[in-house]
Amino acid sequence: MANKLRAGVIGSGGISRNHVSGYIKSERNDVVALADINDRAKDDMDARFGLKTKHYTDARKMMEEANLDVVSICTWHTGHATWTIAAAAYKPKGIICEKPMADTLGRAEQMIIACRRNGVKLVIGHQRRFLPAYTLAKDLIAQGAIGQVQHITSYGWQGMPNYSSHQTDMYRYLLSDEECEWVMGNIERKTDQYERGTRIEDCAIGAFRFRNGANALLLSDVTDIVYQGALIYGSEGLINMTTEQLQLLNKDTGGRWELHVPDGKFFTVAEKGDRFEWEEGGAGQADELADWIEGKVDTHRGRGENGYKALEMIHAVYESARMHEKVIMPMRTKVNPLEIMVESGHLVPERPGRYDIRAFLLRGERMTNDDAPAREE
């Protein structure tokens, strides 16, 4: 086996555990360094995974000293672009940045530019592309098992950028990365809520049209139904897909649902249960990045351009609400349309009082993200 890649992680909160687990379980990387302003977070990470990493409070110093091949960006959303661009300047071989890719399309574009000019392979953490049920659904669709895809229905909650960027990425993956032609949608925002430092809506509906004629509908916080996955309607059958299994109904199944619970490359659903999607997905994206770095594959299914398009589709729902029109893709507005609506007075919260729905993830006195002063009101 080739020498393992040296991996470092910026941000040692909850989501970074999936990155570290993925690096370990793929057996292609050694996690050698952690950067976080909270010492306890780094100590907890080492204890959880039995690591002996070098600790840094200054991420740039980590990248300067630790001779890293791969860097994970696991900060809150507003730090994704800042730290990806900073890491790219030190020219590691690859970067895995958590999703959503950035807080604006302009910043996401800068991430791609920074990585290109420094020869860095950029991956965005839409790890569900590595779930066997998702890949089986994509393959069945490509093989014509349900005829022409006509409609995809999915559900979300707790803000579109975080949860539902997985869903918009899923649409494209299921359709073999078909391009979205237009987006139309609307939102409600009566409160002043945030999710990991990013403004979010109270609820939203988005409609998406793809170049091959397929349509998708996203219902976020408007129903009691919430899950990662989709119900896919075709001209000759149906697929009902979750992160763990797939049901197929077509003429070959005799009009009955046929259940598939495919094994992953690293784990089975039976052995991991509700942890399967996290552990299989994390290991899969780390493994394929190692293959990409070593020249065994030409690209990565989670490459930066795909992460950009998933974010673009989310922001296009906001832009449709702002402009009261169908948004033709690619989108030309490079800032966050939700921010424009709020800051311009177009969408003023009727129930004032800023709060972050993920504040419980922070440590000590903090109630806002780690880029803000601890005692900020």
pLDDT of residue 373: 39
> Does 376 score more than 70 pLDDT?
no
**Quick one: average pLDDT of 339-363?**
93
In the prediction, which pLDDT does 371 show? 57
Q: How many CA atoms lie within 13 A of 102 on its CB side?
A: 24
Assign 370 a pLDDT band (cuts: 50, 70, 90): low
Q: What is the pLDDT of residue 49?
A: 97
Query: What confidence score (pLDDT) does residue 334 get?
Result: 98
Interval 195-252: pLDDT, tens? 999 999 999 999 999 999 999 999 999 999 999 999 999 999 999 999 999 999 999 9
Q: 249-264, pLDDT tens digit by residue? A: 999 999 899 999 999 9
Q: Is residue 45 part of a domain?
A: yes
Q: Is residue 140 part of a domain?
A: no
pLDDT class for 319, splitting at 50, 70, 90? very high
Domain limits for position 56: 5-128+280-303
pTM: 0.95
Give the whole-angstrom CA distance, residue 145 versus residue 139: 9
Q: What domain count does the chain have?
A: 1
| pLDDT of the residue at 67 | 97
Kindly state the percentage of the chain with pLDDT values over 90.
93
Q: Are 28 and 58 in contact (CB under 8 A)?
A: no
Q: CA 372, CA 349: separation in Å to the nearest integer?
A: 23
Q: Residue 368 has what pLDDT?
A: 74
pLDDT for residue 282 is more than 80: yes
Q: What is the CATH number of the domain that holds 116?
A: 3.40.50.720
- DSSP H helices, 143-198, are 165-174
Q: In the structure encoding, which two tokens stand for residue 321, read together?
A: 């609400």
Q: Tell whether 248 is covered by a domain.
A: no
- Binned at pLDDT 50, 70 and 90, residue 367 comes out as confident
Alpha-helical regions (H) of 241-298: 269-272, 276-293
pLDDT at 66 over 70: yes
Sheet holding 246-250, edge to edge: 258-260, 246-250, 237-242, 229-234, 149-156, 215-220, 203-210, 180-188, 327-328
Is a pLDDT exceeding 50 seen at residue 181?
A: yes
Q: Would you call 37 exposed, middle or buried from its count of C-beta atoms within 10 A (0-12, 13-18, 19+)?
A: middle
Pairing state between β 180-188 and 327-328: antiparallel
CB atoms within 10 A of CB 115: 24
Amino acid 2: pLDDT: 63
Instruction: Over range 11-33, report the average pLDDT.
Output: 96
d(CA 133, CA 294): 27
